[in-house]
Amino acid sequence: MTLVSWTNKQFSLKESINYQSGSVVSKEILKSSSGNITLFAFDKNQGLSEHQAPFNAFVLILEGKAEVTVEGVKNYLKEGEMILMPANKTHALKAPQKFKMLLIMIRSESQ
């Protein structure tokens, strides 16, 4: 689904992305110089290794449960919960079970 096909249409975030065995699947909804919005589906035991990003990143869990580590602190989120991963701070994600999330990245004011 392209950005044009998302415009002015009602859709389900959870149903807009599917799991793939042994993988992390992503689907970009919006990309601009000020930020990005991306859907992710993580299969059990998959993840994103520790890294930093030049954007404030908000993670909203759409389905399942996730382990989100920010600056060495582990957080356990479930469906409907959200966390901020600040710009230029280390973070990582792990899937103790399958989960889907919406990632909203916004360029920080200092950039």
Q: Map residue 62 onto helix, strand or coil.
A: strand
24: nearest Cα among 103, 106, 110: 103
The predicted pLDDT at position 3 comes to: 60
**Cα separation, 93 vs 52, whole angstroms:** 12
Closest by Cα among 65, 24, 60 to 42: 24
Q: What is the pLDDT of residues 34-56, one digit of tens each?
A: 899 999 999 999 999 999 999 99
Q: Nearest to residue 103, comparing CAs of 52, 6, 43, 29?
A: 29
77 vs 30, higher pLDDT: 77
Token readout for 16 is 């807009």
Look at residue 110 in the predicted model and tell me its pLDDT.
59
Query: Can you list the domains of the chain with their CATH numbers?
Result: 3-107 (2.60.120.10)
Q: pTM score, two decimals? A: 0.89
pLDDT at residue number 73: 97
Report, as an integer, the average pLDDT of 47-74: 96
